[in-house]
Structure 1
Amino acid sequence: MSYRWIVTDLDGTLVDRSLRMVPRSREALRRFRRTGGQVVIATGRSRESAAPYYTELGLTGPAILLNGAQVCDLSTGEVLLDQRLSARAWAGVSQLLDDLPATAAGVAFVGDGAYRVVDSALLDAYAARDRVSLRPVAGWHELPADQISKAMVICANSVVADDLAGRAGALGVTTLVSEPTYVELLPLGVDKGTALTWLADRCRVPLAEVVAVGDNPNDIPMFAVAGFGAAVYGGHPDTCAAATIVVGRCAEGAVADVISHITTLA
C-alpha cells in the first residue's frame, strides 16, 4: 500500500511538551512531501494557534482545526469548512459557561477569533501555552449565536473536567476531553474523523491511502476512517488500543517512526 497523506495531530504527537516541533519528525515530514506526499495538520488549535507550525513545515494545503469544526488553507486564509453550534445548543452551552465554578473558565471560538468573558489565571495560562489571543467581551450574549464554531472550558484539574464533560452531555453537542483539563464542546456529530472524511472526499483521496497519527481520544475518530492509524507511545490507552500500530514517544520522533514504518510497507 502506498500512502498519499499523513494527517498528524500536533500536541503530544508532532509537538513536544516544550511546544517545539520535534526535529526528527519535522524532517521526516519534509522528506515525505518531497516524494509527493501531502501533510495535513489535524488539531484542536485555532487558525492563529496552528499557523506557526503550519509555516514551520512549509505547508500550502488545508488544515483541520478546532477538532474538526473548521478546515482552512492557512497559506491563503481560505475557509473550506466552518461547522457551527446550533443557536439552541449555544444557548445551553453559554449558560453552562456562565455557571462555571472558579476552578474552570470558558472560551468561545467565532471565525478566526477566540473570546473570553472573565479574567482567569487558567485562561492566561492556556493563551500563553497555545499562543492564542483571547478577546474580552462583556457577556456571551455579545457573540452571534449562530456563528460559534466551538466552546472550550479550561479546568483546574481532571476531576473538574470530567464533571463538566458529564454535565455537557445533555446539551446536544459533541463533547470531548482533548487534554486532561480541556473540555471541548463542538457541533453535534463533528470530530476530526468527520472533517477528514469530508476533506478526503473533496480532494478525491481514498481514505485507504491516508495515515492518521495521534495520542489522545480526540484522534480516535481519525483512526476509524483512515487506512492506517498510528498512536504515540505513552498516549491515552484508548487511543493506543484503537490504532493499527503504536510507535515511539513524541519527543523521540513518533511521526518519523510512522513514516519509516509505512515506507517499508510500500
Structure 2
Amino acid sequence: MSATGLRTVDWIVTDLDGTLVGRDLKIVESSLAALRRFVASGGTVVIATGRSEEAALPYYRALDLTTPAILYNGARVVDLGTGAVLHRRCLDVAAWAKLTPLFAELPSGVWPVAFAQGRAHTTGSSAALREYARRDGIDLGHIASWDDLPLDDIVKVMLICDRPELMDPTEEAVAAVVSGVTLVRSESTYLEVLPAGATKGTALRELAAARGVALSAVAAIGDNPNDLDMIQAAGLGAAVGDGAEIVRSAADVVVGPCDEGAVADLVARVLP
C-alpha cells in the first residue's frame, strides 16, 4: 500500500504493444517499475493483447505474473504458467469457409495469417509478413493450402497490409462477405478477424466475474481501437497519449506517451 494508504483499484489491465511495450519491443522501464510497485501494494496486473501465447510469454515472464492473460484480442484467456485455457472462442466454421476463398480476392499487398493449434500459419511470403513475425517474436508456419488447418480450431485471422490505405478496402471486403465475426484494427496495418463476441472487453468482463472482482475496481489502458471495449468496460479507462484519437476520445483519462511511461502515469493515478 502507498504511504497514503490509497490504492484506488485492485486490478490494472494493460495492453502490450504501444502501451507497456515500446518501439524497441521492450517493456518501458519506468512502467515496469511502477507495475512492480502496484503488485507490492497488493494489486493485480493482467496483460490483454492481440498476441498469441508464444508472443506474449516473454513479457509475462518479465513481469513475473501468475495471473491469466487475455490473448488474441479476447478470443482466449490463458494461464501462461500452465498453458491451461480458461476461456475459448473460435471462428465459426461457416465464417472460415467464407474467408478462405476471399483471401485470393483481397487487394494486392494484403497477407492473411491464421492462428490454429497454438501456431501462426500462412501460405505466402512477404516483407510485411517477415516484419510481423519479427515484431511478435514468432515463427510463421507455411502451409500449402488453407484447407490444411482444422475447421473447428481457428482462433483468429490477421490480415497484414503492406500500407495503411489498404485497410479500408480490406475491411469492407470482409464485412460484405463474412458474417458472425468481430473485426478490429490492432495497428495501422493490422486488421483482425475474430470470433463473434471476442473482444478484450468481453474477456475482461468474464475474467473479472470469474475472480469476483468488480469492474469498478479495474483500471485498463490501451492505445489502439482493439482496446476500446476494454477501457470502456473498466471502472477507469486510460488511453496512451500517443495512441489512436478514437481511443483518447473514449477514455476517462489520457496519460503520457508509451515510451515516456504511459503505464507508470496510470499507476501514479491509482497508487498515489
For the superposition of Structure 1 and Structure 2, which TM-score range results when normalised by the shorter chain? over 0.9
RMSD over aligned CA atoms reads: 1.1
Unaligned runs of 5+ in 2: 1-6
Letter in 1 for 2:47: I
Give the Cα–Cα distance (whole angstroms) in 2 for the partners of residues 207 and 111 of structure 1: 31
Q: Is the 8 A contact 2:107 2:169 kept in 1?
A: no
Find runs of 4+ consecutive structure 1 residues off by over 6 angstroms.
none
Correspondence for 1:127 among 126, 133, 144: 133
Counterpart in the other structure of 1:262 = 270
State the 1:199 CA deviation: 0.6
Letter in 2 for 1:70: R
Q: Is the 8 A contact 2:241 2:254 kept in 1?
A: yes
Correspondence for 1:187 among 185, 195, 217: 195
* Stretch moving more, 251-260 or 164-173: 164-173
Residue 155 (str. 1) matches residue 173 (str. 2):
no
Letter in 1 for 2:186: S
Q: Is the 8 A contact 1:62 1:71 kept in 2?
A: yes
Correspondence for 1:218 among 220, 226, 230: 226
Residue 50 (str. 1) matches residue 61 (str. 2):
no
SS in 2 for 1:12: coil
State the 1:98 CA deviation: 3.2
- Residues 33-83 of structure 1 deviation map (CA, whole Å, 9 limit, x = unaligned): 111111000000110001100000000110000000011011111111120
Letter in 2 for 1:34: A
Counterpart in the other structure of 1:240 = 248
Percent identical: 49
State the 1:234 CA deviation: 1.4
Give the Cα–Cα distance (whole angstroms) in 2 for the partners of residues 261 and 63 of structure 1: 23
After TM superposition, the score normalised by the length of structure 2 is 0.94
Counterpart in the other structure of 1:13 = 19
Give the Cα–Cα distance (whole angstroms) in 2 for the partners of residues 166 and 67 of structure 1: 20
Give the Cα–Cα distance (whole angstroms) in 2 for the partners of residues 262 and 93 of structure 1: 43
Counterpart in the other structure of 2:124 = 118
User: What are the equivalent positions in structure 2 for 1:28-177 lying under 5 Å apart?
Assistant: 28-170=34-176, 171-172=178-179, 173-177=181-185
Counterpart in the other structure of 2:235 = 227
Equivalences, count: 264
After TM superposition, the score normalised by the length of structure 1 is 0.97
Letter in 2 for 1:184: E
Unaligned runs of 5+ in 1: none
SS in 2 for 1:159: helix
